[in-house]
Each structure stands twice: as C-alpha cells, then as structure tokens.
Amino acid sequence: MLPLSDRLAKQVAGLPRSGIRDFFDLVVGRDDVISLGVGEPDFTAPWNIREAAIFALEKGRTTYTANLGLLALRRAIAGYVKKQFEVAYSPETEILVTVGVSEALDLAFRALLNPGDEVIYHEPCYVSYSPSIVLAHGVPVPITTKVEDHFALLASDVAARITPRTKILMLNFPTNPTGGIQPRAELEKLAQLAIEHDLIVITDEIYSELLYGGDGGMELPEHTSIASLPGMKERTILLHGFSKAFAMTGFRLGYACAPPVLTEAMMKIHQYSMLCASIMSQYAAIEALEGGMDAVESMRQSYARRRNLMLQGFARMGLPCFPPGGAFYMFPDVRQFGLSSKEFAMRLLEEEDVAVVPGSAFGPAGEGFVRCCYATAIDKLEIALDRIENFVNRLK
Amino acid sequence: MEKLLELLQQDGQAGPETIAAQLGRPVEDVRAMIKECEESGVILGYHAVIDREKFGNAGVSALIEVRLTPERGGGFDRLAHRIARFEQVSSCYLMSGAYDLAVIVEGNDLREVARFVSEKLSTIEGVISTATHFQLKIYKQNGFLSKAEDEVRRLPVAP
Ligand SMILES: Cc1ncc(COP(=O)(O)O)c(C=O)c1O
C-alpha cells in the first residue's frame, strides 16, 4: 500500500503548517503567560445578542434556513451595508450569509479561480489568504506593504505585478496583523487599476468598524470601501462578518455581498458544501444589527484607549511602532535587536512570559515585526508592557 | 471629560497615569480634570461596591415609597433634603408616578429599619404615607452582577 502521505492532494500536502500553530503549541501549557497573541475580542458578545440566540432556541428555531440565509437577516445586512459602506445590495440576489468571513473567502476564490489564475494581495496579511488561494488552484501573488507607508498598498506596486493571468485583487483594510488602513486617494488609484485591467476585487472588511481617528484615536473616522467607488460595485465582492466588531467569533457568521452572478456562483458552492449558516447565529445576527450598534461603539472606544496605552508604552521603551488606524493589533518593529521575529517572540515568551505572534507568521513581509493584540484587560496590558520593557532593555 | 468620567465610573481606582495613557493626554491634564470634577461636585465620591450577601453580617436594605405634601415655592425639595440627611438613608430620589420619593434605607436588621420608618420618617410633617419593601436578594448593583460571568478562555494564540 502506498503511504497515506502520498495519497494527499498535491496542493494540500504542499501547504505549510501555520506559523501560528507552532507558536500555539509553545504557549499552551505555560501558566502565568500574558497572551497578546489572541485574534479575537476580549468582550463576550453583548447580552441582547446572546439573548436573541437563546430566544431562537426557546422558540424551537432549530431548522435549516434558505441557502442564502434568512431573508430578514439579509434585509438587515442590506440596510447596514448601505449605511456603513454606502453601497446598496439587493437582499434577494446580492447577499449570501456564510459561516464566517472564512467561508466567504473560500467561496469567493473557488467561484472565480481557474488553475493558474493569479491573485494579488498585500502582505503581511491574514494567514488564510495564501492557502485559500492555493486550495482553489490559484496562484498567490503577495505584494509587500511597508511600515514607511504605514502598511498601505501602493497602486504603483500593484501595477508592476499585474500580468495577463491576474484575475483578482484582494484587499483587507484595516489589516490583520498591521492595523494599517488605506488612504482614500490610494484606494481610488487601486480602483482605477482594477477597472483598467478588468480585475475582480475581493475586499475583506471584517475590521471596518474598528477605526481610530482624531486626537488619541477616540474619534470614529470615515471609512471608504472600494465597493463604493464609481464603477466598482459591479466587480467587487465585499466580505464582512460579525466576529470582530460585535464580539461574536464563536457564532461563526459572516456574509458576502456581490453582483447576482457572483452571489449565485458562491451560493452554489455554499449550498453543496455548507447548506446554510446556523439558524441560531442568524437570529443573533439580526439582533446585532438592530440593537447592537451602541455596544460596538463602546467596544471601539475601549480598544482605542488600550491602543493609546500600548503606543505610549512602546514609545517609552523605544520600540518603534506606527499608530495603527484600525483593528486591535499593534505591529512594532523589532529589527533593531538583530533577532528574527520568531526568535524575538520565543525569547520574550521564555524569559518574560508574554506571548506575541512573530510577524513572519503573516508572510515573509512580516519578518522583523511582531503582532501584539491589545484586546486584553488593561491591568494585564500594563504588566505585559512592563515585561516587554524589561526584555527590550536587556536586548539593547 | 466625558471619557474620563466614563473610565472613573467603571473603575474609581484607575490612577491618573493609566487614565492619561488610555486617553492619550498628559497626566497633569488628567489630574486637573479630576480635581475640577471633585471640586464642582460632578464627582461626589468614591466607594467600593460590596456584595453584602457574601459578607457574614449582611444587614438589611429597604426601598421605601414615600408620599409627601408638596409645599408652595419649594415643591418637595425641603422635605426631601431633610429625609436624605439621615445617615440611615443611602439614596433618595424624587420619582414620577404613584409616590414621590424612593428612599433606600440600610440597617442592621428589620427592626432597626422599621423603627427608623415609624419613628423618624412617618412622623415628619408633610409625609402622607410610607410603604416599606425589604430587599431579599441582590442580582446586580451599581452595574456589577453579583454572580460574575464565568471567565471564558480564548485560544492564547489565534490567527
Ligand atoms: C482579516 C481577517 N479576515 C477574516 C477573519 C476570519 O473571520 P471569521 O470569524 O468571520 O471567519 C479574520 C479572523 O481573524 C481576519 O483577521
């Protein structure tokens, strides 16, 4: 018999293990670790949202839903997206409710890519992009974004990488892991490029509510989605979900908004692979959109305060870090110490019991940086900062 | 200012340094703002929120509905102030609806509270009637749940 490892599909066998996984194994089993390695809110989902899920269960709502998702939820999403992003989608034909943005991403790539089609995206980035592209038989074409540009994606860099095989431009602003946002002028240039080269754009807007503007990051700045720019809605798949802003990671709920042909194509895959998203989660999501916005804003302000605390802490210890415009991550630059980001993270864990994620887990472009998630209690952040300061002082 | 008050309301012990770092303001500004709030009476005081049930000698607490005769000129103010000054009274609010004042009274036992009501409160001229409701169990006070939600363990490292 052939070894089972030889039976695996080529594109699966070739997938690297996530750098996050390796690090995870080191962290679990250690007590007293303060983890800045998390990727989710420290808030529990607001009570009214949880209560709506309980109510759905009490009412016996335990069935499948329409493949696209409950119409009431799609209507609520249409209203929300119109308000948040200024793009109008039809709840009947242009919105698909998915099991998190994770599933929506996979659907979008699978619906569009033929073997060899290229996807341009910016790196450092969320760990799933490249594997999802490979699993859909596409070719990942990462473009490095730089700290000098505050991790914005320059249209000139994109233009240089466009080939006849380029099919998709994938964006994620605010970005995991950098917290970077895309200035509107640069976004407009990307839209121009997409139109010129007839590209489809996938935009992962999962952090779009968590933005920090004005003095001390407390103000909510304007956010522009590329889908709202002229000529873009018809070539864009907008992905969004409830995990981050509503603190609903475990509900596993997201959605894709796209022109009818693309929605229909994604729906076909979803129908055969997932059938529908969980009905309890869908009812909870309706409540989130109808009665959860105050909670979102109060959580945003809480993140903004913690972001300030981190910025001040890093400044005090001489660790360069650009002020992130969104999400709940800081991405300090650790190149001055002559360690790889993995060595830095390992030693910080071993010597000071603080877990951060090596930037290299988010692609080679993340080397030289570490990701620190500040969605953790203030008192823990203060201790973590003290410990990082001790560590950094020893390295200097 | 509003943000500062919000933070202090959540945690009265938050130090000016932590608050300043969170708001991205110089610590002297924060100290000055706190002082101003204390002096102008916007901040009335600071106290621990104690769950008396978890603490041996729990004492008792009652909500007393008080109906008053309003007075020309001052309405209910003079009588309300008079009642609020008793040290047994922990809170006193003017209410809309079927009664006028909601008075929260604390005491060591039922008898002590009952005595306060019958001897002090109901004998004040202008008090028309009182109705005493003893508190039986606390689920939430001043924003704090008595039974904290279970701590949820997140994955320590996640994408
Ligand atoms: C950029 C980005 N996209 C998508 C996801 C996945 O989100 P969901 O929980 O909706 O599957 C995450 C989660 O960390 C993320 O950071």
Instruction: Tell me the C-alpha distance between A133 and A105, whole Å.
Output: 9
**Between chains, do A38 and B18 touch, taking CB under 8 Å as contact?**
no
pLDDT reported for residue A31? 82
**Model pLDDT for residues A203-242, shown as the tens digit of each residue:** 999 999 999 988 777 888 999 999 999 999 999 999 999 9
A176 in ligand 1 pocket by Cβ < 6 Å?
yes
A123 in ligand 1 pocket by Cβ < 6 Å?
no
Residue B158 banded pLDDT, cuts 50, 70, 90 = confident
Residue B77 CB partners (closer than 8 Å, separation 6+): none
**Nearest Cα to A306, choosing from B13, B18, B11, B151?**
B18
pLDDT reported for residue A7? 94
pLDDT reported for residue A117? 98
pLDDT reported for residue A216? 74
A241 in ligand 1 pocket by Cβ < 6 Å?
yes
B-chain residues within 8 Å CB-CB of A378? 18, 22
**pLDDT, mean over chain B:** 92
Closest by Cβ to B149, choosing from A33, A38, A44: A44
Tokens of A32: 């007293």
pLDDT reported for residue A217? 79
In angstroms, the separation between the Cα of residue B64 and the nearest Cα of chain A is 31
Range from A15-19, A307-311, A326-330, B96-100 carrying the lowest mean pLDDT = A15-19
A101 in ligand 1 pocket by Cβ < 6 Å?
yes
Closest by Cβ to A306, choosing from B22, B149, B158: B22
A-B Cβ pairs (cutoff 8 Å, strict): 69
A106 in ligand 1 pocket by Cβ < 6 Å?
no
**Between chains, do A313 and B21 touch, taking CB under 8 Å as contact?**
yes
Strands (E) located in A172-253: 200-204, 236-241
Residue A30 banded pLDDT, cuts 50, 70, 90 = confident
B73 in ligand 1 pocket by Cβ < 6 Å?
no
**Between chains, do B159 and A127 touch, taking CB under 8 Å as contact?**
yes
**Model pLDDT for residues A54-77, shown as the tens digit of each residue:** 999 999 999 999 999 999 999 999
Residue B159 banded pLDDT, cuts 50, 70, 90 = confident
Q: Is B150's pLDDT higher than 80?
A: no
The predicted model gives A120-134 an average pLDDT of 97
Q: Is B35's pLDDT higher than 90?
A: yes
pLDDT: which is higher, A144 or B147: A144
Mutational pocket test of ligand 1: of A20, A206, A329, the residue with most ligand atoms within 8 Å of the beta carbon: A206
pTM over 0.95: no
Ligand 1 atom at shortest distance from the alpha carbon of A105: 4
Strands (E) located in A331-392: 354-355, 357-358, 370-373
Nearest residue of chain B to residue A249 (CA atoms): B154
**Model pLDDT for residues A234-251, shown as the tens digit of each residue:** 999 999 999 999 999 999
Rounded percentage of chain A residues whose pLDDT exceeds 70:
100
Q: What angle do CA B29, B33, B39 make, to 5 degrees?
A: 145
**Model pLDDT for residues A316-367, shown as the tens digit of each residue:** 999 999 999 999 999 999 999 999 999 999 999 999 999 999 999 999 999 9
**Model pLDDT for residues A81-104, shown as the tens digit of each residue:** 999 999 999 999 999 999 999 999
A27-38 burial: b if 16+ Cβ within 10 Å, else e: beeeeebbbbbb
Q: What structural domains does chain A harbor?
A: 4-45+294-395 (3.90.1150.10), 47-291 (3.40.640.10)
Residue B146 banded pLDDT, cuts 50, 70, 90 = confident
Closest by Cβ to A40, choosing from B3, B22, B154: B154
pLDDT reported for residue A22? 75
A-chain residues within 8 Å CB-CB of B154? 38, 40, 42
**Chain A interface disruption, residue of B22, B23, B152, most A CBs within 10 A:** B22
**Model pLDDT for residues B70-103, shown as the tens digit of each residue:** 998 889 999 999 999 999 999 999 999 999 999 9
Residue A17 banded pLDDT, cuts 50, 70, 90 = confident
**Positive or negative torsion for Cα A63, A69, A71, A74:** positive
Residue A189 banded pLDDT, cuts 50, 70, 90 = very high
Q: Is A152's pLDDT higher than 80?
A: yes
Element (H, E) at A97: strand A95-98
Here the ipTM equals 0.72
